[in-house]
Structure 1
Amino acid sequence: MRVLIFGATGMVGQGVLRECLRAQDVEYVQTIGRSPTGQLDPRLHEIVHADMMDYGSIEASLQGFDACFFCLGVSSMRKTEADYTRLTYDLTLAAAQTLARLNPQMTFVYVSGTGTDSSEQGRSMWARVKGRTENALKRLPFKAVYLFRPGVIEQLHGIRSRTRLYRMIYPVLKPLMSLLRLLMPNQIVTTADVGQAMLEVARHGAQKAVLEPADINAVCRAAAHPAGTPPLTQRAG
């Protein structure tokens, strides 16, 4: 499997990249971002690309991929709706529209968020914009589109968020994570869970296009114990 990752230096992207490089069936991983990941692996090729709204100069390097894991994202804090739309909807669609044209056989997986508003009409600005982005992605002619909506994400294997607010919150939450898992087992995923689930839906599909935390965990369990779990074979788009 040939995999393309956007946002591999972010918290989610770091976890996804780690799982891709650990997977035996992933023969080639290419990252696209404004800065290098710092990872070394013979299967890893990195493209440092400054303009994430225009891919014309690197289109030749964006062909022949089986899956794209789109992990780019920004916080809506202190942003106007116009700014957040540009950095969420416009930026994502600039990449996705290019990839759909170049790789119609591709499975596209987008990291959204719990609480996303698919109606695009709610009061929460970020949720409306995320919903609009999800809806636009589902209309593109990919083989399949999956929308991951993780809730609380536990950072594993030394992974740290680049967002200052999250770096402040996670040290406080870490000692409470075991308790939170007991109280809210279906609301917490790990960085490894997200990466493993992305790989699994790229391999075998899933029964739904939108995956909430409980669905992400279920996909991971199915991948770990395929003999005891009904196969996830229904494609979504």
Structure 2
Amino acid sequence: MKILVFGASGMVGQGALRESLLAPDVTEVIVVVRQALAPNHPKLRQIVVDDLLDLSLHRAQLKDVSGCFFCIGASSAGMSAEAYKKFTYGLTLAVANKLLAMNERMVFVYVSGAGADSTERNGRMWARVRGQTENAILRLPFANSFILRPALIQPLHGARSKTRSYRVLYRILAPVLPLLRWIAPGAVLSTQLLGEAMLGLLRRGASVRVLESSDIRALVLQSPQRYGAQCEGAGPCVP
């Protein structure tokens, strides 16, 4: 498989990148970034652009991609409704349509968030916009598309959020996250598990196209292929 990752410098994207590079059935991982990533790996190819939509020169690289992991996201805190929609809905759909024009055979995996409202009528602005984005992605004629809605995420293997408030929150929660995952495994996922789930969707698909946290975990537990699945850090060892 040949994988394309958007948002590889973010916390979830770092998990997707790590698991993709570890998987022996992945031959190449292409990341689209504004600044080059430090890690060097024989499978890794980097497309460094100022504008994430500026992909026309890379059509040859992208025409045979098996799947795209779109991991770009932002907190709505401090953003106007217009700015949040432009970033979340506008950017995501613009990228997806560019890719569709190059390669409609790929599988598109969009990382959304728990609480997204697919009815698009929720009182919370961010939930409506996320739901609108999800619905628009699912209507595009890719070979297949899936939505992941993780709730609380435990960063592993050096993964780190780019959002300062999230980094503070994760530092506070770090001592208890392994315990929370043991007590409520369906509610707390790790960056490793999310990356494994994305690969699982390319390999086997899923019975539903919108996966909540419990669905994501179940998908990974059913997988016969867990190449990076060593015990994840201190505390109770849970998948």
Normalised TM-score (structure 1) = 0.92
Secondary structure in 1 matching 2:73: coil
Alignment CA distance shift 1:56-1:161 (3 Å): same
Number of the residue aligned with 1:72: 72
Q: Deviations over 1:64-85 (max 9, x none)?
A: 1010000011111110111001
Question: In the comparison of the two structures, how many residue pairs are matched?
Answer: 226
Number of the residue aligned with 1:219: 219
Aligned alpha-carbon RMSD (Å) = 1.4
Q: Deviations over 1:130-175 (max 9, x none)?
A: 1010000011110110000011101111111111001101111011
Matched, 1:135 2:135: yes
Structure-2 separation of matches of 1:54 and 1:126: 27
- Give % identity: 46
Aligned-residue offset at 1:39: 1.3
Contact 1:6/1:33 (CA < 8 Å) preserved in 2? yes
1:133 is matched by which residue type in structure 2? T
Contact 1:14/1:159 (CA < 8 Å) preserved in 2? yes
Structure-2 separation of matches of 1:178 and 1:24: 28
Number of the residue aligned with 1:235: none
Structure-2 separation of matches of 1:55 and 1:182: 42
Number of the residue aligned with 1:146: 146
Q: Deviations over 1:8-58 (max 9, x none)?
A: 000000010000000000001100011122111111100011112443343
Structure-2 separation of matches of 1:111 and 1:132: 13
Could you list the structure 1 runs, at least 4 aligned residues long, displaced by more than 4 angstroms after superposition: none
Q: Please list every run of 5 or more consecutive structure 2 residues that lacks an aligned counterpart in the other structure.
A: 227-239
Alignment CA distance shift 1:205-1:77 (3 Å): same
Alignment CA distance shift 1:167-1:219 (3 Å): same
Number of the residue aligned with 1:177: 177
Contact 1:6/1:13 (CA < 8 Å) preserved in 2? yes
Normalised TM-score (structure 2) = 0.91
